[in-house]
């Protein structure tokens, strides 16, 4: 976090830290104002969330702000608003965030309910983002249409992680204990103050959101708050007649007042309604680049000494410049005395076992999963470099998808399958005790 001075006035706008030009006010909440801002170095627009330190400290919310910063640094996902950087002056904290121009999803619903196919796409994106958060031990706890924004292309972006909780906030009973969120979207067990599972509570909120998208109104509406809470406790709601049977079934399973029998996120993703009419897959940028590269490189590339040094684990200088932990690396390299065709056969075996699609040329192979993961379909690219005609270096990279899923794939599937063809130096072999 940059602890620098505030900014000088420049006409009607403020120059912040010599880096951002602050423009018009986009919106404000109790503790924060959000401005349009421009990064003077890149020329890109951002949303600048400005939080007054004094006000936050006064109400004891400093921990919550720190939590929001650490959560947003952890959760990088296409359907989650991106946090670029955090700065601070003596009196304020500045969040430079992705500018999402399409407004709130809530504004769409205010004009009337959505068609089921349209609602499904938003719900698929919401579940993808929440599943990703949960895989990182993060629970949002304040999911509602106002915290769901739309970008220029109409894609959903989850925002406002101010109330989110980490796994480490669990008490000894493994449950969360703070009541938070917005009444109409809050799960019954959260209101009950007995402790709750953050993942299950988030799913209840997703159920309310799905209901609102399809119906155009709330499932538990009552002017009297106590009466509304009673209805939430009982799971007392009715689906309008225009809900399809599959949608009715899914909403009912999500709005189950008993958290232990409420549907899980994996079962949601497996439900017939969720899987119906998955959006057409447009070829990703990575796939297009891969095909172009295949055209250019028909033969395995020959390496010079500098290439070999940069590819060698022993001479790999990248850790000096990378912040990533070793286990989060998105590539692995190995040498082999087998021909490229043998390596390709091994990779095809792995692909077949995992039901991955394969694209190949003489010097490259790309494996792509058919199932969508937490960041789209997992794709792995392998490229062969010829050191000598009988000695290859193979570089395996994550080409698409989630790093966590890629690392699990490498350790459980790829490494075991390749162990017979990986070359180890005689010195390394001799040092292994029999």
When pLDDT is cut at 50, 70 and 90, the band that residue 15 belongs to is confident
Q: At residue 434, does pLDDT exceed 60? A: no
SS3 for 38? strand
So what's the pLDDT on residue 424? Answer: 66
Task: Take residue 313 and report the two structure tokens written for it.
Answer: 């684990």
- Please compute the mean of the pLDDT values over residues 10-14 and round it to a whole number: 49
Task: Please report the pLDDT score of residue 415 as a whole number.
Answer: 85
**HSE toward the beta carbon, residue 57, CA cutoff 13 A:** 7
How far, in Å, CA of 54 to CA of 58, rounded? Answer: 6
Compute the Cα dihedral for 206, 211, 217, 218 and give only its sign: negative
53 in a labelled binding site:
yes
Q: Does 287 have pLDDT greater than 50? A: yes
Q: What is the pLDDT of residue 297?
A: 52
Cross-strand bridge partners of residue 25: 35
Give the per-residue pLDDT at 329. Answer: 58
Please determine, for residue 368, whether its predicted confidence score (pLDDT) is greater than 70: yes
DSSP, collapsed to helix, strand or coil, labels residue 259 as: coil
- Residue of 10, 82, 131, 142 marked active site: 142
Q: Which residues of 309-319 are buried (b: 16+ CB within 10 A; e: fewer)?
A: eebeeeeeeee
pTM for the whole structure: 0.60
What the chain holds in terms of domains, given with CATH numbers, is 2-98 (3.30.200.20), 105-275 (1.10.510.10), 285-430 (3.30.310.80)
As a whole number of angstroms, the distance between CA 198 and CA 138 comes to: 8
Residue 76's Cβ-count burial label (10 Å; 0-12, 13-18, 19+) is: middle
255 band by pLDDT with thresholds 50, 70 and 90: very high
User: How many Å apart are CA 283 and CA 376, to the nearest integer?
Assistant: 12
Both tokens of residue 2?
A: 């940059």
User: Greater confidence, 239 or 226?
Assistant: 239
Write the DSSP assignment of 355-387 as a string of letters: TEEEEE-SSEEEEEEEEEEBTEEEEEEEEEEEE
Most confident of 22-26, 115-119, 386-390, 414-418: 115-119
Can you tell me the mean pLDDT for 101-119? 86
Q: Tally the C-alpha atoms within 13 A of residue 260's C-alpha that lie toward its C-beta.
A: 1
Residue 71 pLDDT grade (very low, low, confident, very high; cuts 50, 70, 90): low
Minimum mean pLDDT range among 5-9, 123-127, 182-186: 5-9
Beta-bridge partners for 20: 16, 39
> Can you tell me the distance from the alpha carbon of 169 to that of 3, in angstroms, rounded to the nearest whole number?
28
User: Phi, psi at residue 227, to the nearest 5°?
Assistant: -65, -40
pLDDT exceeds cutoff 50 at 280: no
- Quickly state the pLDDT bin for 264 (edges 50, 70, 90): very high
Tokens linked to 109: 């619903």
pLDDT, mean of residues 127-142? 81
Active-site residue, 402 included: no
Q: Is the pLDDT of residue 85 over 90?
A: no
Among the residue ranges 103-107, 179-183, 414-418, 429-433, the one predicted with the least confidence is: 429-433
Rg (CA), the chain: 25
Residues 6 or more apart whose CB falls under 8 angstroms from that of 182 comprise: 142, 144
Say yes or no to pLDDT of 417 above 70.
Answer: yes
Mean pLDDT (whole number) for 286-312: 54
The rounded distance, in Å, linking the Cα atoms of 15 and 49 is 15
Choose the most confident range, by mean pLDDT, from 186-190, 223-227, 261-265.
261-265
Mean pLDDT across 82-96 = 84
């Amino acid at each position: 976090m940059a602890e620098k001075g505030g900014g000088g006035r420049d006409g009607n706008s403020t120059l912040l830290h010599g880096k951002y030009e602050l423009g018009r006010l986009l919106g404000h909440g109790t503790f924060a104002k959000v401005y349009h801002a421009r990064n003077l170095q890149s020329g890109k627009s951002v949303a600048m969330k400005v939080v007054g330190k004094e006000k936050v400290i006064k109400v004891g919310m400093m921990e919550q702000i720190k939590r929001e910063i650490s959560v947003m640094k952890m959760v990088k996902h296409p359907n989650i608003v991106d946090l670029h950087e955090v700065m601070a002056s003596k009196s304020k904290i500045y969040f430079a965030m992705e500018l999402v121009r399409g407004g709130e999803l809530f504004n769409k619903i205010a004009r009337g309910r959505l068609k089921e196919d349209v609602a499904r796409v938003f719900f698929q994106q919401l579940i993808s983002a929440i599943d990703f958060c949960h895989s990182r031990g993060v629970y949002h706890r304040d999911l509602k249409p106002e915290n769901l924004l739309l970008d220029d292309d109409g894609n959903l972006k989850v925002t406002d992680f101010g109330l989110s909780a980490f796994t480490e906030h669990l008490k000894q009973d493994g449950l969360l204990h703070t009541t938070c969120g917005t009444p109409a979207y809050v799960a019954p067990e959260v209101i009950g103050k007995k402790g709750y599972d953050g993942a299950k509570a988030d799913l209840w909120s997703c159920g309310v959101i799905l209901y609102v998208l399809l119906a155009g109104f709330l499932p538990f509406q009552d002017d009297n708050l106590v009466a509304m809470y009673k209805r939430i406790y009982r799971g007392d709601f009715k689906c309008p007649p225009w809900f399809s049977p599959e949608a009715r079934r899914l909403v009912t399973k999500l709005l189950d007042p008993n958290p232990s029998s409420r549907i899980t996120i994996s079962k949601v993703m497996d439900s017939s309604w969720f899987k119906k009419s998955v959006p057409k897959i447009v070829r990703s940028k990575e796939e297009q680049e891969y095909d172009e590269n295949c055209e250019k490189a028909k033969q395995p590339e020959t390496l010079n000494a500098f290439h070999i040094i940069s590819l060698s684990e022993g001479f790999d200088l990248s850790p000096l410049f990378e912040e990533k932990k070793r286990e989060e690396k998105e590539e692995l390299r190995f040498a082999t005395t087998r021909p490229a065709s043998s390596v390709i056969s091994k990779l095809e075996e792995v692909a077949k076992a995992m039901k991955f699609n394969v694209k190949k040329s003489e010097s490259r192979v790309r494996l792509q999963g058919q199932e969508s993961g937490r960041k789209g379909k997992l794709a792995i690219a392998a490229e062969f470099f010829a050191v000598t005609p009988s000695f290859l270096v193979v570089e395996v990279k994550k080409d698409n998808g989630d790093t966590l899923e890629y690392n699990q794939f490498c350790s459980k599937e790829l490494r075991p399958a390749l162990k017979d063809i990986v070359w180890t130096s005689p010195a390394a072999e001799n040092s292994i005790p029999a």
